[in-house]
Structure 1
Amino acid sequence: MEVSPVKSSVAELAEQLSAHGYKLTRQRRAVLSVIAASEGHLNPAEVYEKAKANCPEIGLTTVYRTLDILARLGAIRRVHLEGGCHSYALASGGHRHHLVCTDCGNVVEFEGCDLSALLQAVASQTGFEIKEHWLQLFGKCPACQKAK
């Protein structure tokens, strides 16, 4: 029997929560299911609306807390948007960065960046041992450029 990728992702996320001492409540499972089934980035309100379809008793606070836990565990990626908002996506393997449209909020992932010289210079100047980095570039997506 073949396990669907969504069920596998939910199981993996649930295992990460359990391994760090978090209970897998019905509400948290609903959030995990939404994240695992999503092909893109979702903001907390979108996660809440989708999770509510299968778990009407879920609260927005639970969604925020669960997303925060999953982000701290590295299970999902948090994208910082203008105005202090965030969107989230399942953390896939590999090193990824984001392009964020300042008009419509669309988020596009891209791979590859050669920041090694910059990271070495920063480490040398500050004494920091740099473990990782995130890169987000802000601008207008092609659709928004055409709209003007």
Structure 2
Amino acid sequence: MLVSEALLKIKTNGYKITEKRKEILTFLSQHPQYVSGSDVIQHLKNDHPGLSYDTVYRNLALCSELGILEETEFAGEKKYQLCAESDHHHHFICLKCGETRVIKNCPIHDIPEMNDFHITGHKFEVYGYCRLCKTP
């Protein structure tokens, strides 16, 4: 998703487009991997010395709720990524560098134990090491 598309989605859902929201989304658009709220704060703190954790996390939560950001918990911390795909997908996440790759096929339908469940949502993430980070 482009930053301009994300901002339009914020506006059409009745929220204001603020400078901080633009900066947060621009920062996330420049990172192909998940980043933490702390990473966002570190990036913005020089231009916004009074910036609170609350403001950043509220904006991240709003964008996640609107489907602009994907959210995961990784290494004990919530992390965020600008949605790159509009269709249903999952991720491979490198434990060393954080590279994130899309997994297009969904394994949930191949699990026989799920046949009699009415599934309302799920998340599937694979953790490991990318080809550059794997150790012998």
TM-score by length of structure 1 reads 0.71
Q: Which residue of 1 aligns with 2:57?
A: 64
Q: Secondary structure at the match of 2:51?
A: coil
Q: What is the 5 A alignment of 1:1-148?
A: 9-83=2-76, 85-93=77-85, 94-102=87-95, 104=96, 106-115=98-107, 116-118=109-111, 121-124=113-116, 126=117, 128=118, 130-141=119-130, 143=133, 145-146=135-136
Q: Which residue identity does 1:108 align to in structure 2?
A: T
Paired residue type of 2:23: A
Any unmatched runs of 5+ in structure 2? none
Three-state SS of the structure 2 residue aligned to 1:145 is coil
Cα distance in 2 for partners of 1:123, 1:82 equals: 32
Which amino acid in the other structure matches residue 89 of structure 1? Q
Question: Which protein is bigger by CA-based radius of gyration?
Answer: 1
Q: CA deviation at 1:70?
A: 0.8
Q: Give the aligned length.
A: 133
How much has 1:16 moved relative to structure 2? 1.1
Provide closer, same or farther for how the CA distance between residues 48 and 64 of structure 1 changes in structure 2, counting only shifts above 3 A.
same
TM-score of the pair, normalised by structure 2: 0.76
Separation (CA, whole Å) in 2 of partners of 1:57 and 1:107: 31
Q: Which has the higher helix share?
A: 1
After superposition, what is the alpha-carbon deviation per residue over 1:37-66, rounded to whole angstroms, capped at 9, x for unaligned?
Answer: 323221111112223344444322211111
Could you list the runs of 5+ residues in structure 1 that have no partner in the other structure? 1-7
Superposed CA RMSD in Å reads: 2.6
Q: Call closer, same or farther: CA 1:73–1:42 in 2, change over 3 Å.
A: same
Equivalent pairs: percent with the same residue? 22
Distance 1:28 1:50 in 2: 13
